[in-house]
Amino acid sequence: MATSNGSCLKVPDIHDNTTIGGGVQDVYGEDRATEDQSVTPWNVSVASGYALLRDPHFNKGLAFTEKERDAHYLRGLLPPTVICQETQVNKMIQNIRQYEVPLQKYIAMMDLQERNERLFYRLLIDHVEELLPIVYTPTVGEACQKYGSIFMRPQGLYISLKEKGRILEVLRNWPEKNVQVIVVTDGERILGLGDLGCHGMGIPVGKLSLYTALGGVRPSSCLPITIDVGTNNEKLLGEELYIGLKHRRATGQEYAELIDEFMTAAKQNYGEKLLIQFEDFANHNAFDLLERYRSTHLVFNDDIQGTASVVLAGIVSALNLVGGNLGDHRFLFFGAGEAGTGIASLIALEISKRTNSPLDEVRKNIWLVDSKGLIVSSRKESLQHFKKPWAHEHEPVEKLVDAVNQIKPTVLIGTSGHGKTFTQEVVEAMASNNEKPIILALSNPTTQSECTAEEAYNWTKGRAIFASGSPFPSVEYDGKVFMPGQSNNAYIFPGFGLGLIMSGTIRVHDDLLLAASEALASQVTQEHYDKGLIYPPFTNIRKISANIAALVAAKAYELGLATRLPQPKNMLNFAESCMYTPTYRNYR
Ligand SMILES: NC(=O)C1=CN([C@@H]2O[C@H](COP(=O)(O)OP(=O)(O)OC[C@H]3O[C@@H](n4cnc5c(N)ncnc54)[C@H](OP(=O)(O)O)[C@@H]3O)[C@@H](O)[C@H]2O)C=CC1
Ligand SMILES: CC(=O)C(=O)O
Ligand SMILES: [Mg+2]
């Protein structure tokens, strides 16, 4: 028979022995009584009443007005008080502050995101400096490490080898149809924490929440994806709570085929202008994927390209503190992977453009160290392809401190993923060669930072221009307070993505990364320099992102890569008008 809610259920006969422990007269046993019967999962298209409160896109909690409570069958489902969003934000931030452990704050934030999306974003935007370290690095790193035990509801799509041949179907299971940006990982290099397999999902989820909060991209347009080809993390393979495929990583053709099917299906389902951001792939795949898809898809590798753009901006603005032109400086990278060689390449490109010098010539001032020591020409044959352009004539040098003493860099950049590697000896060597050494410890999370802010300032006697990938609190040295900046691609990718999306850009070009970098550097003011900062604070990030988006979009039009017509006259106004704000909507 048809029930009042439109589903067709067999009503159990109360005289039927099979209903013992269940049946219409025993509401507590009802589920058990019908366990062997099929039910139809169904939904209504207009959410009201209880369903409305349970829908994170529309739920406003106590902020539903009296009129809305009447119109949407909410009477009695909420306590009588009506409060505004601002009061809700104040209440929530107090709640979050009560937790002492960052991971508890993270869980509370994720819980809020699943209950009331607009309140989550309002809270994150209004308290961005305080909450960024929670939803993003460093806490997101710990969340990924413990993802198996804190995992509650899927927040994105999992595409595993089991779905091979059916990826288009899987994409169609995602409830949102107008996806504009995907952040995808295969979990093999999660921050500096290594292979976390399927538990890497925390990263695309976190990155996309920044797309919305920092860059104003609508949450419904964002899709986090984890591609699961297995994991080589022995600990996870033996863990009961591991949520991914419990076998070693597929490689070679099997890996390439799955990724290719995904890339094709994503473009087929969401169109040419879909932005796909590769995140935290290991470098043996990251460079090849970028190369393979950069001419057919709108792809962007955050670790290679976004990081490059943010670090170039920081160095350009640091020139205001240390003097000289970019081409006058000498760079030494500790770590020659995605971040290291990505940054090195963009710096070289910028210097080459500014000075009209060939890249080969410019590269001579840029040196990299990997796990085997300084990258020199005698090692060229055995180097991975992305390191080869940096193999200069020099005798082999094994230790970082010796490389610092011999190369005498003015800028030292840590991209190794290994903490505590900028030792006192290394930092003091930088200080003895430079009046104001630029020291960037970019590895994440905080545990992997090459040195702390306190170490950098103490060991250089307060002379370092310092920034790090994960945030550090301010440091007092010799009666002066130093505010370390955060050199993190979170400054770039939200605004960069917005710029691509709002202009309908179809391919990423290096000049767009340079435009983003220039836009970021131009946001640093004298007031910031006076505090020793080389980045503007995150409190102004929405404005910063709008400026980045505007310059990126303008460059895309100039290069003929933008498809949205007519071209907006005032790009900054247009960027701001495109940005999602999480203010509650009124329901009729
Ligand atoms: N602040 C930011 O915005 C960003 C920070 N990062 C951080 O940068 C770190 C590196 O990321 P990524 O470049 O993608 O990683 P990769 O794995 O691509 O590169 C790591 C590099 O570090 C080298 N390395 C590792 N250990 C040592 C060691 N003990 N001594 C010398 N060199 C070493 C590796 O050497 P070898 O090649 O010989 O193995 C490799 O060249 C991570 O912690 C990540 O979180 C990344 C992107 C953005
Ligand atoms: C910030 C970032 O993308 C990373 O550490 O991988
Ligand atoms: Mg990353």
Q: List pLDDT tens digits, range 276-303.
A: 999 999 999 999 999 999 999 999 999 9
Residues with CB under 5 A from ligand 3 (ion): 280, 303
Predicted confidence (pLDDT) at residue 201 exceeds the cutoff of 70 = yes
In this structure, the residue with its CA closest to atom 6 of ligand 2 is: 191
| Ligand 2 atom closest to residue 469's alpha carbon, by position in its atom list | 1
Count of residues in the chain = 588
> What pLDDT does residue 60 have?
97
Q: Is the CB of 345 under 6 A from ligand 2?
A: no
Tokens coding 335: 């770590």
Q: Report domain extents, the chain.
A: 8-83, 87-296, 305-490
Give residue 337 CA to ligand 1 midpoint distance, Å. Answer: 5
Of residues 304, 318, 330, the one with CA closest to residue 521: 318
- For residue 379, the ligand closest to its alpha carbon is 1
233 appears as a binding residue in the annotation: no
Nearest ligand, CA 307: 1
Q: Is the pLDDT of residue 8 over 90?
A: no
Q: What is the pTM of this model?
A: 0.93
Residue 263 token pair: 């890339």
Contact assessment for residue 190 and residue 141, using Cβ atoms and an 8 Å cutoff:
yes
Q: Which residue out of 370, 382, 390, 470 has the highest number of ligand 1 atoms within 8 Å of its CB and is therefore the one to mutate?
A: 370
Quote the percentage of the chain above a pLDDT of 70: 94
Q: What is the pLDDT of residue 32?
A: 63
576 CB under 6 A from ligand 2? Answer: no
> Does residue 36 have a known ligand-binding role?
no
Domain 87-296 and domain 305-490 have a common topology: yes
Mean predicted confidence (pLDDT) in 25-43: 65
Ligand sitting nearest the alpha carbon of 371: 1
Measured between its terminal Cα atoms, the distance across the chain in Å is: 35
Q: Which atom of ligand 1 is nearest to the CA of 489?
A: 3
Q: Distance of CA 305 to CAs 234, 258, 346, 486, 497, Å?
A: 31, 24, 8, 17, 12
Tokens 């298209």 label which residue?
45
Q: How far apart (Å, rounded) are the C-alpha atoms in residues 235 and 414?
A: 28
CB 109 within 8 A of CB 417: no
Q: What is the DSSP letter of 93?
A: H
The confidence score (pLDDT) of residue 150 equals 86
Q: What pLDDT, on a 0 to 100 scale, did the predictor assign at position 40?
A: 74
| Centroid of ligand 1 to alpha carbon of 443 (angstroms) | 7
Q: Are 275 and 301 in contact (CB under 8 A)?
A: no
Q: What is the value of ipTM here, to two decimals? A: 0.99
Mean pLDDT of the chain: 93
* Minimum-distance ligand 2 atom for the alpha carbon of 279: 3
CA distances from residue 187 to 118, 265, 356, 588 in whole angstroms, order as listed? 28, 20, 40, 44
The upper half-sphere exposure of residue 368, i.e. CA atoms within 13 Å in the direction of its Cβ, equals: 27
Cα(423) to centroid(ligand 1), Å? 17
Q: Domain spanning 87-296: which superfamily?
A: Malic enzyme, N-terminal domain (3.40.50.10380)
Q: Which atom of ligand 2 is nearest to the CA of 190?
A: 6
Q: Distances from the Cα of 306 to the Cαs of 277, 490, 530, in angstroms?
A: 10, 8, 26
332 close to 411: Cβ distance less than 8 angstroms = yes
Burial of 82 (0-12, 13-18, 19+ CB in 10 A): middle
The CATH class for the domain spanning 305-490 reads: alpha beta
Mind telling me the catalytic residues? Answer: 136, 207
Which ligand is nearest to the Cα of residue 488, counting in written order? Answer: 1
For ligand 1, the distance from its centroid to the CA atom of residue 339, given in whole angstroms, is 7
Q: Mean pLDDT throughout 470-485?
A: 96
Which residue puts its alpha carbon closest to atom 47 of ligand 1? 303
User: What is the distance between the alpha carbons of residues 338 and 386, in angstroms, rounded to a whole number?
Assistant: 9
| 136 CA: nearest ligand 2 atom | 1
Judged against a pLDDT cut of 60, whether residue 39 lies above it is answered with: yes
Tokens 């009588």 appear where?
A: 80
Q: Ligand 1: residues within 6 Å at CB?
A: 189, 191-192, 283, 303, 307, 334-340, 369-372, 415-418, 421, 442-444, 448, 469, 487-489
Q: Binding residue per annotation — 303?
A: yes
Kindly indicate the confidence band of residue 46, based on its pLDDT and cuts at 50, 70 and 90.
confident
Please tell me the predicted confidence (pLDDT) of residue 15: 41
Q: What is the pLDDT of residues 143-187, one digit of tens each?
A: 999 998 887 788 999 999 999 999 999 999 999 999 999 999 999
C-alpha 280 to ligand 3 mean position (Å): 5
Residue 444 assigned ligand-binding role: yes
The 10s digit of each residue's pLDDT in 370-426 is 999 999 999 999 999 999 999 999 999 999 999 999 999 999 999 999 999 999 999
What is the Å distance from ligand 1's center to 285 Cα?
14
